[in-house]
Structure formats: C-alpha cells, structure tokens
Structure 1
Amino acid sequence: MSFIQLAKKRYSVRSYLDKPVEIEKILQVLEAARVAPSAVNKQPLHFIVVTNEDTKSKIADTYPRDWFKTAPVVIVVCGDHSLSWKRNDGKDHCDIDAAIAIDHMTLAAADLGLGTCWVCAFDAKKCHEVLNLPENLEVIALLPMGYSADKAPENKKRRDISEMVSWEEYKKE
C-alpha cells in the first residue's frame, strides 16, 4: 500500500469492537511515535498506555462520549514544555511535536488494521489528576485505539488542492 493509500485509509473511528489489541501492535504504534521527528530532536513527549478498565473509565469521565468507552486502549499523549524547543520569538513546539507523533501513531494503527480517533476536547486538568501526573507534564491529547466496529466512510470530504495551495506567494482565488 502506498503512503497516499494509507493516509486515505485512516479515518476517525468512533465505535470499537470488544476485542483486545495485541501488545505487539500497541508497541508498533508506540514505535512509530518514538521515531517521529521533534523540533531540535528534544523529544519532549511521554505516552501512557491505558488498558485497565477502571482507569479507562476514569479517563472516559474526562470526555463523556459513549463511543469513547468502547475503545480497548487509550494512549494518553503528554508533553513536557520544559524540555521542548522554543523558537526565538518564544513559540513553543511541544504541541507540534505531539501532533507529529500522534499522526505517526494514527497512520501506524491504520496500517495494522486498527482504528483511532484523535481527541482534544477533554477535561485536561481532570485527566492529569486521574493519571497522577507530575506538574511538568501536560496532557495534550487522548488517542483511543482498537478494532473498528464500523466500516470506513466511502468518501471523506476534503477541500480541493487548488483551494489549499499557492505557488511562490499567497494568492486567494
């Protein structure tokens, strides 16, 4: 499968089978995050894999959607802003590093026949408390993962490339 085929295959899964994910597959998804690039190679990320039903239930309370509770695995993506690279104007790249790693994980999961859904609209403070995280770690995103109970959508709606790309300088068409 080509990279474009894989990217098109990946979609946000919001219904999971009641089937455990093999540890080997979880480790392959985490390896994809580990090898993801980060600004100035600072690698300011930490990943917490949650499979325990009690802990998953507590995390689900931070994002109260029924479908979220069906995921057999939740990967909690954390960033340490004290380790991340900052540009001269102060722009912190921790969230960008996390986004790259999460994208690598979602694509690796799709390649392994797993589904994911990148979740950012959760109660980060409550999640931080549930996981007993140190103050220096920020919960950036939740990545539920498992075998999809749904079929992939036929056609994901996307803007035409001509609406998204300019050559040489910005041009609004």
Structure 2
Amino acid sequence: MELSEVIKSRRSVRKFRSEEVVEEDLKEILEAARMAPSAGNLQPWKFIVVRNEKKKRYLAQACSGQEFVGEAPVVIVACATGRGGFIGKYMESWPIDVAIAFTHLILAAWNKGLGTCWIGDFDEEKVKEICEIPPEVRVVAITPLGYPVKVPQATQRKSLERIVSEEVYTP
C-alpha cells in the first residue's frame, strides 16, 4: 500500500481474529518502530511483546478493564528507557520519541493487514508489575495487535482549514 493510503485508511481495531500474527510480519513491524527518529538519536524505547494469555488478560484489566486488549493475539507495551533529549529547552523528548516510534509501529502493522488500538488509559504501576518493568522505565502506550474481524468505519476528521494557520497562530 502507498504510505498515504496506509495513513488515510488506518483505523483503531477492537475486535480481533484468533489467528496468530505471522512472526516475519511482527519483526517488520518492530523494525519500523526501531527506525523512527528521536531527539539526539537517543532511541529511548523498549517494546515488550506479550503473547501469554494470562498476562494479556491482566494487561486488559490494567487498561481500565478494556477486555479487547487481552483478546488480541499480541499486546505490545511501549516503554521509555531513558532521558536526555529536550524540546524547546523546557520539555523532555522521551514521551514524544516513543510516540513517534509507536506511530511507525501502528502504521506498519496496518500495512501488513494487522489492526491496533492506541491505549493510553492504563495503570502504569500495574503494567510495570505484570511485565516486570523497572521503576526508572516509563510506560508510554499499549496496543493490542492482530488481524481485524472487520475494519471499523472512518471517523470524522477536522478540515485542514481548522488545523492549519499560515505564518501566525489563528484560532
């Protein structure tokens, strides 16, 4: 698929078929995340691939009981492993760096026919306990990963005129 088509057609998937994810596809998806840019090329990320049924169910509970998370064949937990880069000299770059890599992962998955759903509603301490993540590492995002039962309908997007200003900020 052309990149523009991948971006336009991607949807958040919450119902997955039970078939396992092809290992080669999973590696290519993780490779796309690995190749993401980061501040100072620090690459402050680690991706935990969870296939264990019990752990996936615990993760679903840690994601505010969103059961569909645990029903996917794979759950990926994106973590920030380090600090050091800054944006605008006031904000640490690690959450954005991991988000960029996670976006690469999600788009690469869609290109392989795999659905994802960016999960930001989770109890970080519970996720850390389930995945044995050290205290200094931060959980940034979680996604279930699998073949969609069906592709959801597109959601309404704001027009370019509403989100783009020329030269200066305009409300």
Residue 146 of structure 1 corresponds to 146
Asked if the contact 1:25/1:112 (under 8 Å) is kept, the reply is: yes
Alpha-carbon distance in 1 for matches of 2:142, 2:151: 22
TM-score by length of 1: 0.93
SS in 1 for 2:138: strand
Alpha-carbon distance in 2 for matches of 1:69, 1:88: 38
Alpha-carbon distance in 2 for matches of 1:11, 1:87: 29
CA drift of 1:54 comes to 1.7
Output the amino acid matched with 1:135.
P
Output the amino acid matched with 1:102.
F
CA displacement, residues 52-106 of structure 1 (integer Å, 9 cap, x when unaligned): 112212212201122222111011000024x341246341110100110111011
SS in 1 for 2:80: strand
Asked if the contact 1:45/1:78 (under 8 Å) is kept, the reply is: yes
Residue 37 of structure 1 corresponds to 37
Residue 65 of structure 1 corresponds to 66
Alpha-carbon distance in 2 for matches of 1:88, 1:69: 38
Alpha-carbon distance in 2 for matches of 1:152, 1:61: 24
Residue 156 of structure 1 corresponds to 155
Residue 3 of structure 1 corresponds to 3
Q: Once structures 1 and 2 are overlaid, which stretch shifts more, 63-72 or 84-93?
A: 84-93
Asked if the contact 1:39/1:85 (under 8 Å) is kept, the reply is: yes
Question: Structure 1's 30 and 84: CA in aligned 2 closer, same or farther, altered over 3 A?
Answer: farther
Runs ≥4 residues deviating over 3 A: 87-90
Gaps of 5+ in 2: none
SS in 1 for 2:62: coil
Asked if the contact 1:77/1:98 (under 8 Å) is kept, the reply is: yes
CA displacement, residues 8-59 of structure 1 (integer Å, 9 cap, x when unaligned): 1111001101111011111111000000000110111011000111221221
Question: Structure 1's 57 and 91: CA in aligned 2 closer, same or farther, altered over 3 A?
Answer: same
Q: Once structures 1 and 2 are overlaid, which stretch shifts more, 31-40 or 57-66?
A: 57-66
Question: Structure 1's 103 and 87: CA in aligned 2 closer, same or farther, altered over 3 A?
Answer: closer
**Are residue 26 (structure 1) and residue 26 (structure 2) matched?**
yes
Output the amino acid matched with 1:143.
T
Residue 75 of structure 1 corresponds to 76
TM-score by length of 2: 0.94
Residue 14 of structure 2 corresponds to 14
SS in 2 for 1:128: helix
Taking every aligned residue pair, what percent have the same amino acid on both sides? Answer: 38
Output the amino acid matched with 1:28.
E
Question: Structure 1's 171 and 88: CA in aligned 2 closer, same or farther, altered over 3 A?
Answer: closer
SS in 2 for 1:31: helix
Asked if the contact 1:44/1:84 (under 8 Å) is kept, the reply is: no
Output the amino acid matched with 1:73.
V
SS in 1 for 2:157: coil
Output the amino acid matched with 2:118.
W
